[in-house]
Amino acid sequence: MTKDKRITIPVTRKTYDVMLEKKVLLETAIMFEHKEKALENGNKTENLQDSTVEFHPTLTVSETRLHDIKKALENVEIVSPEMQQEVVKIGNIVVLQYPTQLVTMRVDGISYEKNVLSLQSPLGKLIMGHPVGKEVEVNKLKVIIKKIHLPEL
């Protein structure tokens, strides 16, 4: 009997919903790309099927992104954010002080949108579980956790 060695990625419901939305948008874009190519080659639209996308040896950018999102969706586990603000946890909103600016980001298991800090990123790994005032160094930049806000529900 072999154990399942699948690595799960904890994500909030918000990030999971964003991933599903991006998946649908990419599938739609790819369908239209395929129809456009078929029309350029003389095929009639009514002869084209709206079936699942076939992956070819040379993938388009959209197909590659779709493949990545599908793989990620297979490995995500939806978690509830902890309602605390003592240390950085998944779902928290953090304010980070870089040398020249303050940046506000939501912490999550994976990032498919702007202003989301992935726990898989070097900075995400460094700040997870640390309190306000903790200073870390990433890419030779000093970053300080200035504030931790409760997650948005």
pLDDT tens for each residue of the chain, 153 residues long: 555 567 788 999 999 999 999 999 999 988 888 888 777 777 655 444 544 445 455 678 888 999 999 999 999 999 888 777 899 999 999 999 999 999 999 999 988 889 999 999 999 999 999 999 999 999 999 999 999 998 766
Same domain as 20, residue 67 = yes
Same domain as 38, residue 97 = no
Same domain as 71, residue 100 = no
Determine, yes or no, domain membership for 142: yes
Same domain as 74, residue 13 = yes
Residues 6+ positions from 130 with CB-CB distance below 8 Å: 87, 88, 136, 145
pTM above 0.75, yes or no: no
Determine, yes or no, domain membership for 24: yes
Single out the residue in 33, 52, 78 at which a domain terminates: 78
Same domain as 38, residue 64 = yes
Determine, yes or no, domain membership for 74: yes
Same domain as 59, residue 109 = no
68, β-bridge pairs? none
| Cβ 116 vs Cβ 108: under 8 Å | yes
Same domain as 69, residue 18 = yes
Q: Residue 93, Cβ neighbours under 10 Å: how many?
A: 19
Count how many domains the chain has: 2
Check residue 136 and give its pLDDT.
96
Same domain as 113, residue 53 = no
Same domain as 142, residue 107 = yes
Question: Domain span at residue 54?
Answer: 9-78
Single out the residue in 49, 78, 107 at which a domain terminates: 78
Same domain as 68, residue 32 = yes
Single out the residue in 26, 44, 78 at which a domain terminates: 78
In which residue are the tokens 């605390």 written? 84
Nearest residue to 136 via CA among 122, 126, 148: 126
